[in-house]
Amino acid sequence: MKPATVTNPLETANVVSFPREETGPPMKGAEVLVAALEREGVEIVFAYPGGASMELHQALVRSKKIRTILPRFEQGGGFMAHGYARSTGKTGVCMATSGPGATNLITCIADAFMDSIPLVAISGQVHQWNIGKAAFQETDFFGMTLPVVKHSYLVLKKEDLPRIVKEAFHLANSGRPGPVLIDIPKDVQQEVYEPVFPGSVNILGYKSLPKAGDEELLPILRLIEKAKKPVIYSGGGIISGRADEEMKAFAELTGLPVATTLMGVGSFPESHPQSLRWFGMHGTVAGNFAVYESDLLIVVGARFDDRITGLVSKFAPNATIVHIDIDKSEHQKNKPVKYPIHSDVKHALGRLVELARTKKFSKPDLKDWFKQLKEWQEEHPFTYKKNHHILPQEAVEILYEETGGEAIITTGVGQHQMWAAQFYQFHRPRSYVSSLGLGTMGFGLPAAIGAKVACPDRTVVDIDGDGSFLMNVQELATAFVEKIPVKVILMNNQHLGMVMQWEDMLYEGVRGQTVLSEPHNIGTPDNLGGLYPNFVSMVESFGCKARQIVKREDLRGAIREMLDYDGTYVLELVVPYGEHVMPMIQQGKSAKEILTHPKE
């Protein structure tokens, strides 16, 4: 058959070319799905089987191109797909059966939606004649996920399956990336037919790459020329838009300082003299003060999240704000701006660099501004007070030194997540892999497994807390059986540390179910009697290597031992539970009210 063609020239921007259209031999719908996945270049599927997805698994077994990895929990598989996608930029693929299997993926789908991660989630569904009849393991997964997907499909016609798969991958990883659901009834999986695999995608009304014109971009250069205190605010869109090189070129050409979000960590090298590292609730004082004091704020690929802005009315109160984003719905949503620019960020930054080089751009004199920034940086670095115990901050510092800053770091959610970002410096994108918008505990270990599968030649370390780690600890079995050698630094303080910190600050230290050990017998680095559970025994029961250390003098050697081990290794650090993540901007406060010490 001839390749599909586009007859309306106005729609050419919506068309993406793929391999030519082909008709396949007669095969089951499940085999059609696998063939369609292979045509999209899928290498890995993280999938847990069940009654409504058995046909899909049988077809995957026969694939010569796709490796199927069995997680021990559907959520674990979903977060493995996250780790794969976040560390590479490729679309992650996860799969589950109907009913509880599918609903166990909802958190992963919502997480991808919040952080703009390309994900295709495939779910088996009951036979069409049972839909809506409360059949065994039936849920309206299509309806349940509507608020947290970029798009979703319930495949009711077998002939639609090849087109749907192609559209799903295009939607997931174009424009602003996000999750796409494909829900496939069992009868569609079992029916035999001759599939037609389309050669292009034409989604009416979907324009994935809007490009700002010169008339929108030139005023930005004129604003920069006049600015005295400009700042670039770089978000996760720089990473998902593959625009880190353009960001670096734009920053260096204009001479502007750069503050990133946590999603944007690595979008600009943190060792660069223009870097203010990341700002927000637990970010650098210099970054927060710089944005607050700025007279020009150029926001690129970011959404003015509440953990960044604090009190919105006091966020960059004196700045003229430019907001460049591929998602027009983000403009004026959280923070009013004067210059909203709807554009692919890679194009916008690249074109700004070209215009600056050809339109007589005058680089502003920012000596006084950088002098002030340096004073803030020197006065308020990320710091902590060392003592004779192992402290999480020092552990992250040593890990950074021992890996040369070249590891992929995944995290759970909590205090350790912030310390990982504070004390491990990131010089390139896709090296800090963390659940940031949804903040999902249990993310770190499965994400590390997915990242290691995707990047086998890089060291992957999950920095985790005892609370987060326990939520998906079963995935150690996956790591062992599949021979995926991930490393885990487990910071055991026997508390839900971040919630405990808020209790200390807002509730006079009253513990509301935040103690994970026995409340009246909490172990300490000086008295291990109350430690619970026995993580070393637990990890070893999964066939993995484990070690517990309590002495500070053992820390560096133990981290080196963990990194040198050729399999999965969990290093448990017994740490004090009284540490707070500082600095901190409390909710409802502005950057100028940032706390730098716990007792403030």
Residues of the chain with CATH 3.40.50.970: 9-202, 392-588
pLDDT band at 128 (very low <50, low <70, confident <90, very high): very high
Q: What DSSP string describes 8-21?
A: -GGGGGGEEE-SPP
Whole-model pTM?
0.94
Question: 339-360 pLDDT, tens per residue?
Answer: 999 999 999 999 999 999 998 8
**pLDDT at 7 (0 to 100):** 30
Which architecture characterizes domain 214-379 according to CATH? 3-Layer(aba) Sandwich (3.40)
Q: In the structure encoding, which two tokens stand for residue 487, read together?
A: 């490393």
- Report pLDDT for 20: 77
| E strand residue ranges, 18-99 | 22-23, 27-28, 44-47, 67-69, 92-96
- Average pLDDT (295-315) is 96
Tokens of 537: 């025994």
Q: Which CATH superfamily includes the segment(s) 9-202?
A: Thiamin diphosphate (ThDP)-binding fold, Pyr/PP domains (3.40.50.970)
CATH number of 392-588: 3.40.50.970
d(CA 542, CA 539): 5
The residue-averaged pLDDT of 118-139 equals 95
> Quick one: pLDDT at residue 204?
86
- Helix ranges (DSSP H) in 462-530: 466-471, 475-481, 497-506
Say how many Å lie between the first and final Cα of the chain, rounded.
72
Chain region(s) in the chain for CATH 3.40.50.1220: 214-379
At 600 the pLDDT is 64
Say if residue 528's pLDDT is above 80. Answer: no
Pairing relationship of beta strands 258-260 and 230-234 according to DSSP bridges: parallel
CA 433 to chain centre: 5
Q: Are 270 and 277 in contact (CB under 8 A)?
A: yes
Q: What is the pLDDT of residues 391-419, one digit of tens each?
A: 999 999 999 999 999 999 999 999 999 99
Confidence label for 207 from pLDDT (cuts 50, 70 and 90): confident
What's the token pair of residue 416? Answer: 């350790």
Question: Cα separation of 350 and 338, whole Å?
Answer: 22
Catalytic residues: 74, 136-137, 186, 498
Q: What is the pLDDT averaged over residues 96-112?
A: 98
Q: Which of 302-311, 525-534, 574-583 has the lowest mean pLDDT?
A: 525-534
DSSP state of 409: E
Task: Answer yes or no: are the C-beta atoms of 447 and 86 closer than 8 Å.
Answer: yes
Banded model confidence at residue 2, pLDDT cuts 50, 70, 90:
very low
**What are the pLDDT digits (tens) for 267-297?**
999 999 999 999 999 999 999 999 999 999 9
Structure tokens at 386: 């060392």
**Region 227-252 average pLDDT:** 98
pLDDT tens digits for range 451-501:
999 999 999 999 999 999 999 999 999 999 999 999 999 999 999 999 999
**Cβ atoms 421, 262 nearer than 8 A:** yes
Point out which residues pair with 80 in neighbouring strands.
none
Give the rounded percent of residues in the chain with a pLDDT score beyond 70: 95
